[in-house]
A and B are shown apart, each in its own frame.
Chain A
Amino acid sequence: MVHITSPAFKANAARALADTGLQKALDRSKGTSHAKRAAAVAALPEFERLRDIGRDIKNHTLAHLDFYLEAYAAQVERAGGTVHWCSTADDARATVLKICREKGARTVTKGKSMISEELGINEHLEAHGIEPVETDLGEYILQIRKEPPSHIIGPAFHLNREDWESTFREMHTELPRDRVFHERSDIMAEARTKLRSRFLAADVGITGANFLIAETGSSVIVTNEGNGDLTQTLPKTHIVLASIEKVVPTLEDATSLLRLLARSATGQDFSVYTTFSTGIRRDGDLDGPEDYHVVLIDNGRSNMIGTDFQEMLRCIRCAACMNHCPVYGVTGGHAYGWVYPGPMGSVLTPTLIGVEKAGHLPNASTFCGKCESVCPVKIPLPKLMRHWREREFERHLTPATMRSGLGFWAWFARRPGAYRLATRLGMGALARLGARRGAFAWLPFAGGWTAGRNLPAPEPGGTFMDRYRARQRQQQRAGR
């Protein structure tokens, strides 16, 4: 499993802010992913209604998940495939290893899969003498650099061109060291050549799944590179890794969700390759795998059903929430410390690894609400992060200073008269003190807050409540 650094989120974030290479990478994409999504959405007038439909399809499926999983498994078996039900990450790792060993596999090619990262499939295979080869361009370089992905659809989001060039020079030692990469396409062409032989030699191909379809027993992958398709077409054995919430009833349901997925993810109307795999090679087929296995993984999902967090199981992993998140935008994905970054990670990670380890993540939010507003299946991410904050507080996991501060605030909040008096006095004092400079660079008890920004001094004229009342009185007089 990926090493968890979520408990150190604050230190991770501070390091990320000081990392000039990372900041350069983050700055480069600022705004562009927003603009691409916005353009794709604007070109489809039905998009908002499709979001409601996407939410409803997922809700319907989750409410009958036991039925649809059994229906799906029956269809996979009809098509000559095998379904392996795995409750835990351990079960899933052992199952993948067992299949690979039965096939006498030496190398395994892999399409990009977040569930594979969650399970730590690569480490497990390596430890048992089987070489996994990541074939998504971004995952390929990260495997060489031994880094985890920093984004769920653009895993090498945090790297700059210099990083690609130096890594390739170090790794591809059989090529002339002084070769020149004129264009980005030269870097890509080198990876293409290197990986082509790996695709052809692999004994097993492992992919994830964006959807599983109960109607047909199909697994669906969505890619732009074509690496996932080479992975599932060339080797004799194809293993699909999928968590239980990926199932949808019919092709029509999958189609409606696909209309949302690429637009939300990359701003494309449709990804280049959307591929439906259904079982084993048929009589007469000239290519395709002879063995088809689906490793169906729970690993904590079923515990979310019937709780506040069931809504998170609608997630289709498009990454729109992180692309639009002001916190992700400055810290990048690694600071979140586990597989899933950004707002969806802040909700999902505590459910999967525990709130005691990941409690910082739901706090890493400005609660601006942008994530919810772009979510293609309308997951109320800020509400779910608030649920985690409440649980963290209830379980006394928050620090003592924060708890006493909140207690202090709560005393006033429950006594409106005292609250108004205190704010009026406080604001008046701040307005007088800050009248000249207009802002405070430092305040007692708020050093942590003012270290990163200035607090604008309140304008004279009283608190919000004072002004509101004055305005109401004025309107009443005018109305008379």
Chain B
Amino acid sequence: MSRDAILGAIRRGLKRGPLPADQQAMLAGRIATHPRHLIPARSRLPRPAQIALFIRNAEKEFATVERVPDLAAIPAAVADYLAAQNLPSRLVMAPHPELQGIDWASRPMLETVARRAEDGDAVSLQHAWAGIAETGTLMLPSDAVRPTTLNLLPDTEIAVLRASAIVGAYEEAWDRLRAERQDGLTGGFMPRNIMLVTGPSRSADIEQTLELGAHGPRRLHILLVEDEPAPRAESPGEARADAAAQPGSPAAPGD
């Protein structure tokens, strides 16, 4: 069997047989505790600066970011954005309770439908699970309320992201995922698919010159919902700065 042939060849190269039980247990322990390596200092910032870093990095990669005070402000923000870009006011939306709970009737000109994306859909509205300040990256796991196709097929993707769901480094997002999600199939925490998205689709295959909108969305617009409690007056940002350096502790309500 190929499996045995490959494992046998590896072991011959390593000049040993299968690992003894104690070494296997040690390696299984390394997986279970998944130790962190060096995390760049750039995202270890007081809270407001961490959010500002997310915005700066997302914009550097040609995403656009707009801050909105609450979920109720989203229909107006979407309508204005689409009008400004000269885009149709029809959108396919993630069937996420938070998005479906919005009073879309406040903007009767907007047509929304909650489903996965199909060919021909021009604009999607996605619910982002986390933002990663280190590189301005959105974390978009797949599940029943966040279809992957919304991130891929439409020309324009609008993503709703709660400011409280922004973390500093990728490792903090992994720990949040481990703590907060359970997958029905595996009993683990990984959904079928997780996309880390940094800006709109692009290619430099033609003469090594960057062009936006290769196969995925040409535009990525992030609506950042300011749901973060204002920092306490006595120690502005201090508590959050410590928390951000601590793995996984400030589990923000992303779902």
**A residues neighboring B (CB under 8 Å):** 25, 28-29, 32-33, 44-46, 49-50, 53, 57, 63-71, 73, 75, 78-80, 84-87, 91, 135-138, 141, 154-157, 159-161, 164, 184-185, 187-189, 192, 195-196, 199-200, 214-218, 224-227, 229-230, 233-234, 244, 249-253, 255-256, 258-259, 266, 268-288, 296, 298, 302-307, 310
- For the residues of B in contact with A, the DSSP-based class is loop
Chain B residues engaging chain A, CB cutoff 8 angstroms: 1-3, 5-7, 9-15, 18-19, 23-24, 27-28, 30-31, 34-38, 40-42, 57, 61, 95, 115-116, 119, 134-135, 137, 142-144, 147-149, 151-153, 170-171, 174, 183-188, 190-209, 211-217
Across the interface, do B34 and A250 meet the contact criterion of CB distance under 8 Å? yes
A302 near B198: Cβ-Cβ < 8 Å: no
The listed residue (A80, A188, A215, A227) touching B31 by CB distance below 8 A is: A215
Contact A307 B13 (CB under 8 A): yes
Inter-subunit contact A302/B13 (CB<8 Å): yes
List, in ascending order, chain B residues with CB within 8 A of A227's CB.
214-215
Shortest C-beta distance, B113 to chain A (Å), equals 13
Known contacts A85-B2, A216-B190, A276-B190; A226 and B10 CB within 8 A of each other:
no
* Nearest opposing residue in chain A for B17, CB measure: A66
Q: Which of B115, B188, B199, B214 contacts A188 (CB 8 A)?
A: B214
Residues of the A chain whose Cβ atoms lie less than 8 Å from the Cβ of B5: 85, 87, 298
Residues of B within 8 A of A233 (CB): 148-149, 152, 193
Structural contact, B148 and A229, CB atoms closer than 8 A? yes
Picked from A73, A157, A225, the residue with its CB within 8 Å of the CB of B201 is: A225
Are B27 and A188 neighbours in the complex by a CB distance under 8 Å?
A: no
- B193 contacts which of A45, A65, A75, A275 (Cβ < 8 Å)? A275
Which A residues touch B6, using CB under 8 A?
A: 69, 85, 87, 244, 296, 298, 302
Selected A-B contacts with CB under 8 Å, 6 pairs: A154-B205, A227-B214, A251-B34, A276-B194, A278-B192, A306-B13
User: Contact between B27 and A64 (Cβ–Cβ < 8 Å)?
Assistant: yes
Shortest 5 CB-CB distances between A and B: which pairs? A226-B216, A305-B13, A284-B144, A306-B13, A302-B9
Chain B residues whose CB sits within 8 angstroms of the CB of A85 once the complex forms: 1-3, 5-6
Q: A271-B198, A287-B142 are in contact. Are A188 and B19 (CB under 8 A)?
A: no
CA distance A252 to B250 in the complex (A): 19
**Distance between Cα atoms of A159 and B112 in the complex (Å):** 43
Chain A min CB distance to B159 (Å): 14
Smallest CB gap from A304: residue in B: B13
Complex CA–CA separation, A185 to B31 (angstroms):
45
Of B12, B135, B191, the residue contacting A269 (CB under 8 A) is B135
Q: How far is the CB of A218 from chain B (nearest CB, A)?
A: 6
Q: Are A272 and B198 in contact (CB under 8 A)?
A: yes
